[in-house]
Amino acid sequence: MISINLFSRSFISILLLLCFAGYKSHSQNAANQEQHPKIVNIINFIRLLEPRDAQITEDVLYQTVVKQVQIMQQYHLPGTFLLQYDALMDARYQQLLKNLPPSSFEIGAWWEIPQPLVEKSGLQWRGRYPWDWHADVGFSTGYTPKEREKLVDVYMQDFKKIFGYYPKSVGSWFIDAHTLNYLYEKYKIVASTNCKDQLGTDGYTLWGGYWNQAYYPSKINAYMPAQTEKNQTPVPIFRMLGSDPIRQYDDKGSGSNGQGVVTLEPVYKFGGGDSAWVHWYFKEFVEGQCMEYAYVQAGQENSFTWNAMSKGFEIQMPLIARLRDEQKVKVETLAASGEWFRKKYAVTPATSVTVNNDLNGSDKKTVWFNSRFYRFNLLWENNNLRFRDIHIFNENFPSVYTENRATSNECSFFTLPFVDGYRWSSAEQPAALRFRMVSNGKEIPMEGGTPTINDDVPGKLHIEWPLKSANGTLVMDVDEKQMQIKVEGSKTVDWFLDLSAGDTASLPFTKIAPHTINCRFQEMDYRVKASKGNFLNPGGDAIMRIKPEMSTVVLNFTR
């Protein structure tokens, strides 16, 4: 009896310890969600028809949405369905979506422009099909500002007739500033979305923007983050599709369609349709340093069909549900995220996306930093470190589409480049701003070990990289306006940053002075200041060099 009692007590003690540990872990997750929420929006947008493939019938598209609804309800996952106008006017979609509980599901607008909306607005349809994906026909960019207002009014009136209210969210691959302002001022929308950064995919270029999470756009450029409340449209735009933070940026793709696609979209075999990739992505999403909050959009447009997306969808939904149950992520509608953002942030906050451990077989690590003033990307690879990207934001940089309509089937949205590791590269010379040093009279790449990234101080990102090729540590302190880079250690290190680019790269630099670089891009003048350190033109393979003062460089990216 004594041995049994001792065993029982020990067993009960172990159970209690396990329960306490589980409770403590659960509480820590809940506290972390409160402080640094990891937000997942499941957004599926709906088109009535797909003219590019005769086998994708209206019924195939409808049944795709039915399947999406079923699996989301199976795992009790809330989400957002965004309706293109032709699908909005279809009785089957109306009945399906009206029967969804409004406490869990949001119905909003997908802002591509099909023939029925154009003709009901009293305009002439110029498309090849009843829905045409070209930028001068199927998007608001293809219409004059007054025509855009007519399109919005017709959509909103019919939406309200069907659902009894105006939608709170309006999403699109890209949206012009005039339309966005009109949607906010007249219909009080609270959230929008646009496409990930990409170059030329489907004829659409969005390059150099606030890379992930959400931002308040400039009133004259919906792709450009604003720096001031006065000049921003107070509707947060969330970046879609869940780009691979390491691979998407410089994926070359194939053919003439611009970049490849490496995203969370469940249709892609490498990406959202691959179990190993999906589990890696969400692990880094949950554990990576995000500063304020992390964000990702899951889901898929019905044009890809259920057969193509089902594997990825059925991998992702139970995983998202489990992470939700563990209080590691917060799953909500797009409108809920937009309302939260507006209550919490008067202007766009600084955020980051961090990958501390890549997929098996790779040693790459990366940090994307975004603020209302600039963005950058750091990539560690083979013990070396480089800036792949630095772009600067200026709310006074207008988009041509705010007042003028697109006149071709393609469109382009840019911010102001300072380092562009994709567009400035050639096959022979990858563009980057590389960390280098002098050793034994020779200029060599700096080498280091595993970096540590810390976001404990609000609004600041702290990075330490222990150096192998010198006794010391490279330390970066970043905030929304500037970055400070220095090498700390007992031994002085002769280090610097060198910018390289391909021979045919179109560079923005107009004047390199010791403490200022003047730039010009698409008729906009801008500059970067070194409040500590010097800019040089060293010649040779390097286009520009940044030399530290007292082993420190401070770069300022405000106007």
The answer to whether residue 525 scores a pLDDT higher than 50 is yes
Q: What are phi and psi of 41, to 5 degrees?
A: -105, 125
Per-residue confidence (pLDDT) for residue 2, from 0 to 100:
41
Q: What share of the chain is helix, strand, coil (3-state, %, to 5)?
A: 25, 30, 45
Binned at pLDDT 50, 70 and 90, residue 341 comes out as very high
Per-residue confidence (pLDDT) for residue 16, from 0 to 100:
52
The answer to whether residue 499 scores a pLDDT higher than 80 is yes
Per-residue confidence (pLDDT) for residue 3, from 0 to 100:
47
Q: Stretch 311-322: mean pLDDT, rounded? A: 98
Binned at pLDDT 50, 70 and 90, residue 548 comes out as very high
Per-residue confidence (pLDDT) for residue 327, from 0 to 100:
95
146 is written with which tokens?
A: 């007054």
pLDDT in tens, 346-367: 999 999 999 999 999 999 999 9
Per-residue confidence (pLDDT) for residue 31, from 0 to 100:
60
CB distance 42 to 296 below 8 Å: no
CA angle 383, 249, 417 (to 5 degrees): 100
- Name the 3-class secondary structure at 539: strand
Whole-number Å distance between alpha carbons of 133 and 131: 7
Per-residue confidence (pLDDT) for residue 6, from 0 to 100:
46
Binned at pLDDT 50, 70 and 90, residue 27 comes out as low
Q: Stretch 132-141: mean pLDDT, rounded? A: 94
The answer to whether residue 12 scores a pLDDT higher than 60 is no
Binned at pLDDT 50, 70 and 90, residue 320 comes out as very high
Q: What are phi and psi of 274, to 5 degrees?
A: -115, 120
Who has greater pLDDT, 490 or 88? 88
Whole-number Å distance between alpha carbons of 54 and 38: 40
Whole-number Å distance between alpha carbons of 54 and 25: 52
pLDDT in tens, 181-228: 999 999 999 999 999 999 988 889 999 999 999 999 999 999 999 999
pLDDT in tens, 385-414: 999 999 999 999 999 999 999 888 889 999
The answer for 320, left when phi > 0, alpha when psi is -120 to 50, beta otherwise, is alpha
Q: What is the DSSP string of 116-164?
A: HHHHHTT-----SSSS---TTTSSGGGS-HHHHHHHHHHHHHHHHHHHS
The answer to whether residue 7 scores a pLDDT higher than 50 is no
pLDDT in tens, 228-287: 999 999 999 999 999 999 999 988 765 556 788 999 999 999 999 999 999 999 999 999
Length of the chain: 559
User: For the chain, what percent of residues have pLDDT higher than 90?
Assistant: 84
The answer to whether residue 17 scores a pLDDT higher than 80 is no
The answer to whether residue 544 scores a pLDDT higher than 50 is yes
Burial 80-113 (b: 16+ CB within 10 A, else e): bbbbbbbbbbbeebbebbeebeeeebbbbbbbbb
CB distance 198 to 259 below 8 Å: yes
Binned at pLDDT 50, 70 and 90, residue 26 comes out as low
188 is written with which tokens?
A: 């009080």
Closest C-alpha among 293, 286, 291 to residue 455: 291
Per-residue confidence (pLDDT) for residue 251, from 0 to 100:
86
Per-residue confidence (pLDDT) for residue 138, from 0 to 100:
95
Whole-number Å distance between alpha carbons of 544 and 499: 5
The answer to whether residue 50 scores a pLDDT higher than 60 is yes
Average pLDDT of the residues of the chain: 92
Mention every residue, 6+ apart, whose C-beta is less than 8 A from residue 525: 510, 518, 519
- Name the 3-class secondary structure at 213: coil
389 is written with which tokens?
A: 């990207």
Whole-number Å distance between alpha carbons of 25 and 170: 37
Closest C-alpha among 239, 107, 258, 220 to residue 170: 107
**Listed ranges 92-106, 462-476, 491-505; the one with the highest mean pLDDT:** 92-106
Domains of the chain: 37-355 (3.20.20.510), 424-556 (no CATH)
User: For the chain, what percent of residues have pLDDT higher than 70?
Assistant: 92
SS3 string, 489-529, reads: CCCCCCEEEEEECCCCCCCCEEEECCCEEEEEECCEEEEEE
Per-residue confidence (pLDDT) for residue 408, from 0 to 100:
87
Binned at pLDDT 50, 70 and 90, residue 24 comes out as low
The answer to whether residue 540 scores a pLDDT higher than 70 is yes
